[in-house]
């Protein structure tokens, strides 16, 4: 076996129980039958563990029809160039693998260092799916343009930008760049309001309120008239796009750092944010009764990366009236207390720099004792462990599917390891399957051997021979996680989210 030179044999392991969720059966499978067929068509021999797809009603016969061989649990890790699994397996499974073979999984070796140690002992390479990045970084045109529109508006305000109360009207993929750029700017506040917002939202506007909307989203005339009557400033993203899109994209391409890593290439981050928000709303309803209206609840979201955007999306879909988005300035210790006061649902999608983990917290136990009200729900989308602490001090480690909630100081907390397993386990598995298969069959085509991996993949080798690259080499990246730009403790850049426990 030598996956560094050529991948001929692939094993797809059953998920079973994993250290990330002890006692909970993960129903997913890493590769779907349709993607098995893609791999077979490219000349790979694919074996699937008996019953691997049963949790998703994918039968052994469906995999066999796609060209796979069905193997027993005792043999799936043996004699393969590459073994694929969503969650990292137990140590006994690594012991079955051949030297110079590769394990592809969400490894989380900083939290579970024994995985790396055992793989190194066995001479098995680990390719950590959560560390594979786009390279170079490239934001979508929609994000670039709507972000540029907000930057341009904030530079030309008739008052100091730090006094601006930014309101983004409605949620869509076209508005993501606007939300993210506003959140990481030095402004007084950022809110996302539902479309159309109710009268109370309109009446809360001040002369320093800056509205951003997108006329291509079909806002009503009544809504726009109501916004203009507040006396606040109103900007249409579509106007900026029509007049300045080409220039904004050209300037972005000229200025971007081509050495930067972009978003994860194997991810379900938007769905993770959606599922965490959905579960938080569910907990809130269980506490307050079926008559609770989400539009009457104060919802605070920390961060503005991909998982936070997913949470915003879900909250708006569930009927939230407005969301308070805490970015660069509003998560600072002197400002966050005001934002947390009176909050009913708090969703954390922000992370800390690695050296700050366990030393700095955005939400502290002092906040839960004296600021956050009893009965509030706190959802942590990032999670953590004793070695990689969350930005929320109360959360020492992720919670598990079989024990998802705990209460401290009258506040309900949840930080489930594997948010997509709460609701979208099939959707997440299908997404991972497609993304993993694309890595293997598309340029630079990892089926030709791990030595052809580009820099965004090579940085994700965290154990074994493939990780033993000469640091003096110009190609050396290393396995260290790369986060977004430093934001005074908040980590959450436009197209980047730290490795999270999916």
Give pLDDT tens digits for 33-45.
999 999 999 999 9
pLDDT band per the 50, 70, 90 thresholds, residue 293:
very high
pLDDT at 471 over 80: no
Q: Return d(Cα 264, Cα 123) in angstroms, integer.
A: 26
pLDDT at 478 over 90: no
Through-space distance between the first and last CA atoms of the chain, rounded to whole angstroms? 30
Q: Return d(Cα 164, Cα 157) in angstroms, integer.
A: 9
- Residue 448's pLDDT is what? 93
User: For the ranges 47-51, 52-56, 192-196, 219-223, which has the lowest average pLDDT?
Assistant: 219-223
Mean pLDDT, range 397-422, rounded to an integer: 94
Distance of CA 194 to the CA centre of its chain: 23
Mean pLDDT, range 102-110, rounded to an integer: 94
- Residue 1's pLDDT is what? 63
pLDDT band per the 50, 70, 90 thresholds, residue 501:
low
pLDDT at 348 over 80: yes
- Residue 198's pLDDT is what? 60
Whether residue 125 contacts residue 119, with contact meaning beta carbons closer than 8 Å, is answered with: yes
The percent of residues in the chain predicted with pLDDT above 70, rounded, is: 90
- Residue 346's pLDDT is what? 98
pLDDT band per the 50, 70, 90 thresholds, residue 201:
low
- Residue 159's pLDDT is what? 95
Nearest-10 Cα torsion for 141, 143, 146, 152: -90
Handedness of CA 72, 429, 437, 82 (dihedral sign): negative
- Residue 451's pLDDT is what? 84
- Residue 205's pLDDT is what? 80
Whole-number average pLDDT of the chain: 89
Whether residue 87 contacts residue 18, with contact meaning beta carbons closer than 8 Å, is answered with: yes
Whether residue 114 contacts residue 91, with contact meaning beta carbons closer than 8 Å, is answered with: yes
Cis peptide before 136 (omega within 30 of 0): yes
User: CA triplet 488, 489, 490: central angle to 5 degrees?
Assistant: 95
pLDDT tens figures, 113-126: 999 999 999 999 99
pLDDT at 81 over 90: yes
Question: Token pair for residue 52?
Answer: 């691997």
User: CA triplet 251, 257, 263: central angle to 5 degrees?
Assistant: 100
Mean pLDDT, range 402-425, rounded to an integer: 95
pLDDT at 4 over 90: no
- Residue 502's pLDDT is what? 65
Environment class of 40 (CB within 10 Å of its CB; exposed 0-12, middle 13-18, buried 19+): middle
- Residue 484's pLDDT is what? 29
pLDDT at 82 over 80: yes
pLDDT tens figures, 296-316: 999 999 999 999 999 999 999
- Residue 186's pLDDT is what? 94
Sequence-distant contacts of 372-375: CB under 8 A, at least 24 apart: 372/340, 372/341, 372/343, 372/346, 372/409, 372/411, 373/341, 373/342, 373/343, 373/344, 373/410, 374/409, 374/410, 374/411, 375/287, 375/288, 375/344, 375/410, 375/411, 375/412
- Residue 486's pLDDT is what? 26
pLDDT at 67 over 50: yes
pLDDT at 267 over 90: yes
Mean pLDDT, range 213-226, rounded to an integer: 80
List of residues 6+ apart from 189 with CB closer than 8 A: 165, 166, 324, 330
- Residue 470's pLDDT is what? 46
Q: Return d(Cα 44, Cα 162) in angstroms, integer.
A: 57
pLDDT at 12 over 60: yes
Whether residue 103 contacts residue 85, with contact meaning beta carbons closer than 8 Å, is answered with: yes
Give all domains of the chain, ordered by start, each with its CATH number.
9-134+425-467 (3.40.50.720), 141-255 (3.40.50), 269-421 (3.40.50.720)
């Amino acid at each position: 076996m030598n996956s560094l030179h050529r991948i001929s044999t692939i094993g797809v392991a059953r998920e079973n129980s994993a250290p990330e969720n002890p006692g909970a059966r993960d129903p997913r499978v890493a590769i779907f039958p349709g993607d098995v067929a893609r791999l077979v068509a490219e000349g790979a021999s694919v074996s699937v563990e008996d019953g691997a797809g049963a949790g998703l009603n994918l039968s052994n016969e469906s995999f066999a029809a796609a060209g796979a061989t069905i193997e027993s649990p005792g043999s799936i890790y043996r004699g393969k160039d590459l073994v694929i699994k969503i969650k990292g397996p137990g140590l006994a499974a690594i012991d079955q693998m051949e030297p110079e073979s590769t394990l592809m999984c969400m490894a989380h070796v900083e939290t579970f260092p024994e995985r790396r140690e055992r793989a190194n002992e066995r001479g098995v390479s680990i390719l950590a799916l959560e560390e594979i990045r786009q390279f170079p970084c490239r934001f979508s045109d929609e994000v670039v343009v709507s972000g540029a529109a907000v930057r341009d508006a904030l530079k030309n305000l008739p008052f100091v930008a730090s006094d601006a109360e930014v309101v983004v009207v409605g949620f869509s993929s076209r508005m993501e760049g606007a939300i993210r750029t506003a959140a990481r700017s030095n402004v007084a506040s950022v809110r996302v309001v539902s479309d159309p917002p109710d009268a109370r939202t309109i009446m809360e506007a001040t002369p320093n309120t800056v509205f951003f909307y997108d006329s291509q989203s079909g806002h009503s005339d009544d809504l726009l008239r109501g916004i203009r009557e507040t006396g606040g400033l109103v900007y249409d993203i579509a106007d900026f796009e029509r007049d300045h899109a080409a220039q904004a994209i050209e300037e972005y391409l000229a200025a971007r750092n081509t050495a930067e890593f972009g978003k994860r290439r194997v991810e379900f981050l938007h769905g993770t944010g959606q599922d965490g928000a959905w579960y938080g709303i569910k907990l809130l309803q269980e506490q307050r009764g079926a008559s609770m209206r989400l539009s009457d609840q104060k919802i605070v979201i920390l961060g503005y990366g991909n998982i936070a955007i997913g949470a915003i999306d879900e909250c708006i879909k569930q009927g939230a009236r407005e969301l308070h988005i805490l970015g660069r300035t509003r998560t600072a210790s002197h400002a966050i207390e005001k934002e947390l006061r009176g909050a009913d649902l708090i969703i954390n999608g922000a992370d800390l720099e690695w050296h700050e983990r366990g030393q700095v917290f955005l939400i502290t136990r002092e906040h839960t004792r004296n600021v956050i009200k009893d009965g509030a729900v706190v959802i942590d989308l990032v999670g953590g462990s004793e070695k990689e602490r969350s930005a929320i001090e109360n959360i020492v480690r992720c919670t598990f599917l079989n024990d998802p909630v705990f209460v401290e100081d009258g506040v309900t907390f949840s930080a489930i390891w594997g948010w997509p397993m709460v609701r979208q386990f099939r959707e997440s598995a299908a997404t991972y399957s497609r993304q993993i298969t694309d890595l293997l069959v598309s340029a630079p085509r990892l089926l030709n051997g791990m030595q052809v991996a580009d820099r965004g993949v090579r940085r994700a080798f965290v154990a074994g021979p493939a990780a033993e690259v000469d640091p003096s080499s110009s190609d050396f990246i290393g396995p260290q996680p790369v986060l977004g730009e430093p934001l005074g403790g908040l980590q959450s850049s436009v197209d980047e989210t730290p490795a999270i426990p999916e």
